[in-house]
């Protein structure tokens, strides 16, 4: 019974091939598309059975990468607005969160994570870490923050930025040995400084100081950042930059 079915199927397949194969060979031979492709030195024609695939030579454009980073969040209003702008512009950024705030705004933390941004650690209490022992830095400031983020997202951040950028050299070595990656910044927008943070001042600063792989410092906790952010993004885009999270630079 099974043999009969197999035999029948094989015959049917042979009949189909006998009908369609000559038609396909004829079409390939006569196709003007095929002739055009073969005439062009810039394309490569791959023939696999009856299928014609055209593969263009890839254009290699060196990628200019840049990272936007936002410190001191989450908060009730501004972080959500920053997320709205990033979503509209379709770009990813890095958020250095303060542990004490993570528990207050769990929905915002989840949103940051779910929208594909990178969450990093900006300490539990935002104190100057130079006043703590190395063991205290991890036990009191870094671990509680990353645990709080992990509780909400399942992700335990191991990238940290010290508040005020302040960290002793022995702490840098200690944290590196413990597996922590320390990320400061290379371009301060001064969005935190009320005496010089008008949107045009921030954008001019970006125009003056941008460079490939720059890490741009901004903050979650002020409306000025939101006013300047679309302009910062468009300025950098016009300069040919693509936006990445800090772990992708
Ligand atoms: Zn900070």
Indicate if 219 belongs to the active site.
yes
pLDDT at 48: 43
Per CATH, the number for 64-248 is: 3.20.20.370
Centre of ligand 1 to C-alpha 221, Å, is 10
Indicate if 75 belongs to the active site.
no
pLDDT tens digits, the chain, 249 residues: what are they? 445 555 555 555 545 545 554 445 444 443 443 333 333 333 343 434 445 555 555 555 557 999 999 999 999 999 999 999 999 999 999 999 999 999 999 999 999 999 999 999 999 999 999 999 999 999 999 999 999 999 999 999 999 999 999 999 999 999 999 999 999 999 999 999 999 999 999 999 999 999 999 999 999 977 899 999 999 999 999 999 999 999 999
In the chain the first and final C-alpha atoms are separated, in Å, by 64
Centre of ligand 1 to C-alpha 122, Å, is 7
Question: Ligand 1 (ion): which residues have CB within 5 A?
Answer: 71-72, 163
Considering the candidates 117, 122, 210, 219, report the single residue annotated as catalytic.
219
Output the pTM of the full model: 0.76
Centre of ligand 1 to C-alpha 209, Å, is 21
Domain ranges of the chain: 2-56, 64-248
pLDDT at 31: 41
């Amino acid at each position: 019974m099974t043999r009969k079915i197999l035999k029948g199927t094989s015959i049917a397949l042979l009949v189909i091939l006998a009908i369609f194969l000559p038609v396909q060979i004829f079409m390939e031979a006569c196709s003007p598309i095929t002739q055009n492709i073969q005439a062009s030195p810039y394309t490569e024609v791959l023939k696999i059975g009856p299928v014609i695939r055209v593969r263009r030579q890839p254009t290699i454009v060196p990628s200019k990468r840049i990272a936007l980073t936002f410190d001191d969040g989450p908060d009730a209003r501004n972080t959500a607005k920053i997320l709205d702008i990033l979503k509209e512009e379709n770009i990813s950024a890095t958020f250095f969160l303060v542990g004490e705030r993570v528990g207050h705004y769990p929905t915002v933390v989840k949103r940051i994570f779910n929208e594909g941004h990178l969450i990093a650690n900006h300490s539990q209490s935002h104190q100057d870490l130079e006043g703590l022992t190395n063991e205290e830095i991890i036990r009191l400031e870094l671990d509680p923050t990353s645990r709080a983020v992990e509780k909400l997202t399942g992700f335990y951040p191991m990238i940290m930025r010290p508040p005020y950028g302040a960290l002793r050299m022995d702490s840098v070595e200690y944290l590196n040995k413990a597996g922590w990656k320390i990320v400061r910044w290379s371009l301060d927008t001064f969005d935190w400084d009320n005496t010089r943070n008008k949107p045009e001042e921030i954008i001019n600063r970006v125009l003056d100081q941008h460079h490939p792989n720059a890490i741009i410092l901004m903050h979650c906790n002020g409306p000025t950042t939101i006013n300047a952010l679309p302009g910062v993004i468009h300025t950098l885009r016009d300069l040919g930059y693509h936006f990445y999270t800090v772990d992708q630079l």
